[in-house]
Amino acid sequence: MIERTTTEEITEVLKTAKTIAVLGISSDAKKPGFYVPDYLFTHGYKIIGVNPELSRGSVKLFGERVRASLSEIEEPVDVVDVFRRPDLLEAHLRDLLKMQPAPKLVWLQQGIRNANFAKAVMAAGIEMVQDRCMLADHQALGI
Protein backbone atom coordinates (compact mmCIF):
# COMPACT_ATOMS: atom_id res chain seq x y z
CA MET A 1 0.00 0.00 0.00
CA ILE A 2 0.97 3.65 -0.17
CA GLU A 3 1.55 6.62 2.05
CA ARG A 4 -0.74 9.40 0.85
CA THR A 5 1.07 12.73 0.70
CA THR A 6 -0.28 14.78 -2.21
CA THR A 7 -3.10 17.30 -2.04
CA GLU A 8 -5.14 15.16 -4.44
CA GLU A 9 -4.68 12.02 -2.32
CA ILE A 10 -5.61 13.83 0.91
CA THR A 11 -8.65 15.41 -0.76
CA GLU A 12 -9.83 11.99 -1.94
CA VAL A 13 -9.56 10.56 1.58
CA LEU A 14 -11.48 13.44 3.15
CA LYS A 15 -14.20 13.37 0.49
CA THR A 16 -14.78 9.60 0.51
CA ALA A 17 -14.39 8.70 4.19
CA LYS A 18 -17.60 8.35 6.19
CA THR A 19 -16.61 6.58 9.43
CA ILE A 20 -13.57 7.56 11.48
CA ALA A 21 -12.28 5.68 14.53
CA VAL A 22 -10.37 8.08 16.77
CA LEU A 23 -7.63 6.31 18.72
CA GLY A 24 -6.81 8.46 21.74
CA ILE A 25 -10.08 10.40 21.76
CA SER A 26 -10.45 12.82 24.67
CA SER A 27 -13.44 14.21 26.54
CA ASP A 28 -11.51 17.44 27.25
CA ALA A 29 -12.72 20.09 24.79
CA LYS A 30 -9.34 21.88 24.97
CA LYS A 31 -7.41 18.89 23.59
CA PRO A 32 -6.98 18.06 19.89
CA GLY A 33 -8.24 14.53 20.68
CA PHE A 34 -11.63 16.15 21.28
CA TYR A 35 -11.88 19.25 19.11
CA VAL A 36 -10.61 17.58 15.91
CA PRO A 37 -13.20 14.75 16.03
CA ASP A 38 -15.83 17.30 17.13
CA TYR A 39 -15.10 19.35 14.01
CA LEU A 40 -15.23 16.23 11.82
CA PHE A 41 -18.51 15.13 13.43
CA THR A 42 -20.10 18.53 12.73
CA HIS A 43 -19.05 18.09 9.09
CA GLY A 44 -20.90 14.80 8.68
CA TYR A 45 -18.40 12.11 9.62
CA LYS A 46 -19.38 9.28 11.97
CA ILE A 47 -16.92 9.23 14.89
CA ILE A 48 -16.11 6.13 16.96
CA GLY A 49 -13.87 6.97 19.90
CA VAL A 50 -11.25 4.62 21.32
CA ASN A 51 -9.84 5.28 24.79
CA PRO A 52 -9.64 2.62 27.53
CA GLU A 53 -9.97 5.20 30.31
CA LEU A 54 -13.19 6.65 28.92
CA SER A 55 -14.65 3.26 28.00
CA ARG A 56 -14.71 2.20 31.66
CA GLY A 57 -17.42 4.71 32.45
CA SER A 58 -19.58 3.81 29.43
CA VAL A 59 -18.91 7.31 28.09
CA LYS A 60 -20.60 8.31 24.84
CA LEU A 61 -19.02 10.87 22.55
CA PHE A 62 -20.58 12.02 19.30
CA GLY A 63 -23.46 9.57 19.80
CA GLU A 64 -21.24 6.48 20.08
CA ARG A 65 -20.03 4.47 23.05
CA VAL A 66 -16.27 4.91 23.49
CA ARG A 67 -14.43 1.61 22.92
CA ALA A 68 -11.47 0.36 24.95
CA SER A 69 -9.55 -0.81 21.87
CA LEU A 70 -9.73 -0.82 18.08
CA SER A 71 -10.50 -4.54 18.10
CA GLU A 72 -13.86 -3.79 19.80
CA ILE A 73 -15.14 -1.95 16.73
CA GLU A 74 -17.49 -4.27 14.87
CA GLU A 75 -18.31 -2.18 11.83
CA PRO A 76 -16.40 -0.96 8.79
CA VAL A 77 -14.12 2.01 9.41
CA ASP A 78 -12.70 4.14 6.63
CA VAL A 79 -10.01 5.93 8.66
CA VAL A 80 -8.32 5.34 12.00
CA ASP A 81 -7.29 8.81 13.17
CA VAL A 82 -4.51 8.54 15.76
CA PHE A 83 -3.84 10.85 18.71
CA ARG A 84 -1.10 8.82 20.44
CA ARG A 85 2.61 9.45 20.92
CA PRO A 86 4.82 7.85 18.25
CA ASP A 87 6.52 5.56 20.79
CA LEU A 88 3.12 4.08 21.77
CA LEU A 89 1.88 3.24 18.29
CA GLU A 90 3.32 -0.24 17.96
CA ALA A 91 1.37 -1.30 21.08
CA HIS A 92 -1.83 -0.69 19.06
CA LEU A 93 -0.69 -2.54 15.95
CA ARG A 94 -2.11 -5.93 16.93
CA ASP A 95 -5.60 -4.51 17.60
CA LEU A 96 -5.45 -2.44 14.43
CA LEU A 97 -4.62 -5.49 12.33
CA LYS A 98 -7.45 -7.48 13.99
CA MET A 99 -10.08 -5.04 12.74
CA GLN A 100 -12.55 -6.76 10.39
CA PRO A 101 -12.82 -5.42 7.85
CA ALA A 102 -9.50 -3.63 7.98
CA PRO A 103 -9.65 0.17 7.80
CA LYS A 104 -8.81 1.71 4.45
CA LEU A 105 -6.34 4.17 5.96
CA VAL A 106 -4.52 5.09 9.18
CA TRP A 107 -4.00 8.82 9.72
CA LEU A 108 -1.36 9.95 12.21
CA GLN A 109 -2.14 13.45 13.41
CA GLN A 110 0.22 16.38 13.11
CA GLY A 111 3.50 15.77 14.93
CA ILE A 112 3.08 11.97 14.85
CA ARG A 113 5.40 9.89 12.69
CA ASN A 114 6.68 6.33 13.14
CA ALA A 115 8.43 4.58 10.24
CA ASN A 116 8.23 1.04 11.68
CA PHE A 117 4.53 1.38 12.48
CA ALA A 118 3.79 2.84 9.03
CA LYS A 119 5.74 0.06 7.32
CA ALA A 120 3.78 -2.64 9.21
CA VAL A 121 0.44 -0.96 8.48
CA MET A 122 1.18 -0.61 4.77
CA ALA A 123 2.48 -4.20 4.60
CA ALA A 124 -0.98 -5.25 5.85
CA GLY A 125 -2.57 -3.47 2.87
CA ILE A 126 -3.69 -0.34 4.72
CA GLU A 127 -2.82 3.12 3.41
CA MET A 128 -1.13 5.75 5.62
CA VAL A 129 -1.02 9.46 6.25
CA GLN A 130 1.56 10.75 8.72
CA ASP A 131 2.11 14.08 10.47
CA ARG A 132 -1.01 15.87 9.18
CA CYS A 133 -4.09 17.30 10.86
CA MET A 134 -7.46 16.19 9.46
CA LEU A 135 -9.14 19.39 10.67
CA ALA A 136 -6.51 21.67 9.13
CA ASP A 137 -6.51 19.76 5.84
CA HIS A 138 -10.32 19.69 5.71
CA GLN A 139 -10.44 23.47 6.21
CA ALA A 140 -7.53 24.27 3.88
CA LEU A 141 -8.96 22.16 1.06
CA GLY A 142 -12.45 23.63 1.47
CA ILE A 143 -14.15 20.26 1.74
Identify whether 2 is part of a domain.
Answer: no
**What range defines the domain where residue 126 resides?**
7-140
Query: pLDDT, tens digit, for every residue of 6-38?
Result: 999 999 999 999 999 999 999 999 999 999 999
What is the total count of domains within the chain? 1
Q: Which of the four pLDDT bands, split at 50, 70 and 90, describes residue 131? A: very high
Identify whether 62 is part of a domain.
Answer: yes
Identify whether 1 is part of a domain.
Answer: no
Identify whether 100 is part of a domain.
Answer: yes
Identify whether 69 is part of a domain.
Answer: yes
Distance CA 90, CA 23 (A): 13
pLDDT at 143: 85
Q: Is the pLDDT of residue 55 over 90?
A: no
pLDDT at 79: 98
Identify whether 48 is part of a domain.
Answer: yes
Question: Which CATH number belongs to the domain containing residue 80 in this structure?
Answer: 3.40.50.720
pLDDT at 58: 78
Q: How far is CA 72 from CA 1, 6, 95, 99, 138, in A?
A: 24, 32, 9, 8, 28
Identify whether 130 is part of a domain.
Answer: yes
- Beta carbons within 8 Å of 117's beta carbon, 6+ residues apart: 86, 89, 90, 93
User: Of 79, 82, 69, 74, which is closest to residue 101 (Cα–Cα)?
Assistant: 74
